Amino acid sequence: MSEDTDLSTLLAVLDDEYARDILTHTSVEPMSASTLSERCDASLPTIYRRLDRLEECHLVTEETELAPDGNHYSVYSANLDRLELSLENGSFSLDLTYREEDVADTFTRMWEGMR
């Protein structure tokens, strides 16, 4: 788990239905906030607030994509791969595993975004 994120903060974020929906959708493919708004049936301000909280906990990442018309926009991807909460000897332990992206995949996505 990130040194900046404590257990209670992370659990509070994951307690939110919209945050969980965002993680679920972005674990399949990167999505823009407007797409997430449609898929999660939530307003854009609600989506952006949840994205901010998820980013603070390092559970999603933001990347910029270039649209065919030359404009750019942000897409979000789930960064969480695995979360394990355990209780041992009277204390909770949280182990987060983040997704690791292959350098070649990163380069390919960057290259495709520039075309």
* 61: exposed, middle or buried (Cβ count in 10 Å: 0-12, 13-18, 19+): middle
pTM confidence score: 0.78
Which residue has 């992206």 as its token pair? 101
Q: What is the chain's pLDDT, residue by residue, as a tens digit (115 residues)?
A: 444 568 899 999 999 999 999 999 999 999 999 999 999 999 999 999 999 999 999 999 999 988 888 888 999 999 998 999 999 999 988 888 888 765 555 566 566 656 5
Q: Which domains does the chain have, with CATH numbers?
A: 7-113 (1.10.10.10)
Q: Three-state secondary structure along 4-43?
A: CCCHHHHHHHHCCHHHHHHHHHHCCCCECHHHHHHHHCCC
